[in-house]
Amino acid sequence: MNSWKKLYWGLLLLTSLSTLTAEPAPSPKRRITLSLGYDENFNSNEGMKHLPLTTIQGYSWVFDQATKMTTGETSRTALAIADIILHIPYLGKDFNTATSNWLLEEKWWPYLPAYHEFGHARAMRAFCKTSFDGYDITVAGQKTRDDSVLWCYFHSLNYMAFNQGAVTHGSFNTQKYVQKLPICAGGLNNESRLSSEIADWTYRFNGHIAYFGAYLRGRVAPASYTAKTKSGAIDNETGDIYEITQHYKSYHPGFNMDNIQYGGLVSLLCSSTTYSFLKGYYDFIKTGDPTVRTFTWNGVRLPDVNFYFTRNGLSLEVISGYQINPNLWVNLGVETVYYPSKSVEITPSIRYALPTSIYGMFEFDVGVVINHYGHFSGHAGVEWTDPVNPITLHAKLIHHNANTYVGERNIPHALKGDHDVEVMISASYNY
């Protein structure tokens, strides 16, 4: 009963905050972010996410410079088509050998292999005593190796026209699929997370049509990798999808790769941000404005759907939120493991922006994760934006629990127990 009283008083406090009048939070178009998480010793998805986001937003600046050279709907249509062609993944057969689709491969976008491979490496370090041997990059048939994901990123960037892929190497002390699954699925889960981060940024600050390629890649990656595995373009006996399928078959023999493809396509087609981007392209062609705005209804964010792999099965996470006033938001995520087993996890959170004319903008974010097994975790974060200079500082405290699905995908260290506490600090230049 005492817990319900605390909840009541907490909601009453939030209601009182919602009556405050203040200027809306500022909306930076882009950020260049430096994070402690770029040091792999932190083994942090929370910190490393800023590397691909910074790259994507930098690309949108280049897109805007190209837009200045357009003179009407025809030239803007050509630019929009070129942007889509450079990003869209090819879902057909012979992905790696179709010369007519050489522009479509992920080699053109170095944040994709780097963040994907970091997903494997993070889980490997988190769950297993491992001999991590580094990342391989194949360029024009020649393999090179390094143990830094930043090297993987910049090497891919430097040779992106010739990059033929990346692989994470390491040996770990278990063959139990229950521990191997987070490692094998870490890359694809990171791509899904990146898609979700782009959708959240679009909701929070408005997006840009140039983000669409990375967003789309994360949504369709499970279906794309599965199609390539079936066709033999990816090794169908050692690749990510093969290992993931073997895990689920170990306790549900009827599982097959089609289940993965369906889940990825549901994520794409049932996410409102997908259609926000399509409308954004239409608006850009008609008006020249590349801004993408999340669809809302009476203050409610229309849902997005994220697809993930968990140790218990395939999951779909539905994300929505409600803006109470210009400075107060409540958000809710509901993740359902639907096949082969079934379970539910919820992630409510609250974000409050406090603008001041003298001390700048403060923004507070608090959230919890609770699943139906009784496991929980949470986070608390604060951002401060300088009132004069375009600088934002971020600090976030995260309690990870490997028994939650969010924790399984993101915990930095789990060798000494299922719980870990992470402190992540970063700084951004807004432009």
- pLDDT tens track for 58-76: 999 999 999 998 888 999 9
State the greatest distance between any 2 C-alpha atoms of the chain, in Å, as a whole number: 66
**Distance between CA atoms of 32 and 426, rounded to whole angstroms?**
10
Mean pLDDT of the chain: 84
pLDDT score of 111: 67
What band does 153 get if pLDDT is binned at 50, 70 and 90? confident
pLDDT of residue 7: 47
- Encode pLDDT of 114-140 as tens digits: 899 899 999 988 988 766 777 877 666
Residue 152: how many CB atoms within 10 A of its CB? 27
Say what the pLDDT of residue 24 is.
40
Q: How far apart are CA 112 and CA 94, in angstroms?
A: 20
Distances in whole angstroms, Cα of residue 336 to Cα of each of 156, 284, 340, 378, 410: 35, 36, 11, 18, 18
**Which stretch of 29-43, 147-161, 290-304, 318-332 has the lowest confidence by average pLDDT?**
147-161
Tokens of 184: 């094998």
pLDDT at 162 over 80: no
Whether the predicted pLDDT of 336 surpasses 80: yes
pLDDT over 90 percentage in the chain: 59
Q: How confident is the model at residue 5 (pLDDT cuts 50, 70, 90)?
A: low
Which pLDDT tens digit goes with each residue over 185-205?
999 999 999 999 999 999 999
As a whole number of angstroms, the distance between CA 156 and CA 161 comes to 9
Q: What percent of the chain has pLDDT over 70?
A: 80
Least confident of 174-183, 255-264, 268-277, 390-399: 174-183
Q: Is the pLDDT of residue 347 over 90?
A: yes
Cα torsion at 186, 190, 196, 201 (round to 10°)? 150
Please state, in angstroms and rounded to a whole number, the distance separating the CA atoms of residues 115 and 51. Answer: 8
Residues contacting 289, CB < 8 A, separation 6+: 283
User: Tokens representing 67?
Assistant: 């837009």
- Taking the C-alpha atoms of residue 300 and residue 319, their distance in angstroms, rounded to an integer, is 11
Q: Which of 89-103, 221-235, 399-413 comes out lowest in average pLDDT?
A: 89-103
| Residue whose C-alpha is closest to residue 116's, from 40, 192, 171, 203 | 192
CA triple 196-246-309, angle to 5 deg: 15
pLDDT on residue 192: 96
* pLDDT, position 25: 38
35-65 core/surface letters (b: 16 or more CB in 10 A; e: else): bebbebebbbbbbbbbbbbbbbbebbeebee
Residue 388, pLDDT > 60, answer: yes
pLDDT digits (tens, 9 = 90+) for 12-40: 454 444 444 333 434 557 999 999 999 99
| Helical spans, DSSP H, in 207-297 | 212-231, 240-249, 258-269, 272-287
Domain ranges in the chain?
21-430
Give per-residue pLDDT as tens, 95-119. Answer: 333 333 333 344 446 567 789 989 9
**C-alpha distances in angstroms, 145 versus 51, 136, 169, 219?**
20, 4, 9, 29
Instruction: For CA atoms 133, 135, 136, 139, give the dihedral sign.
Output: negative
Mean pLDDT for the stretch of residues 81-87: 77
Residue, of 169 and 225, whose pLDDT is higher: 225
- Report residue 257 CA to chain centroid gap: 23
Q: Say if residue 150's pLDDT is above 90.
A: no
What is the average per-residue pLDDT within 313-334? 97
Q: Is 92 a residue whose pLDDT tops 60?
A: no
What is the pLDDT at residue 19?
A: 42
CA distances from 166 to 72, 107, 190, 359, 389 (A): 40, 9, 15, 45, 39
Report the sign of the C-alpha dihedral through residues 245, 246, 249, 251, in that order.
negative
Tokens, residue 311? 């140790």
Q: State whether the Cα torsion 402-127-194-387 is positive or negative.
A: positive
Confidence class for position 10, pLDDT limits 50, 70, 90: low
Provide the 8-state DSSP code for 72. Answer: S
Q: Cα separation of 266 and 332, whole Å?
A: 19
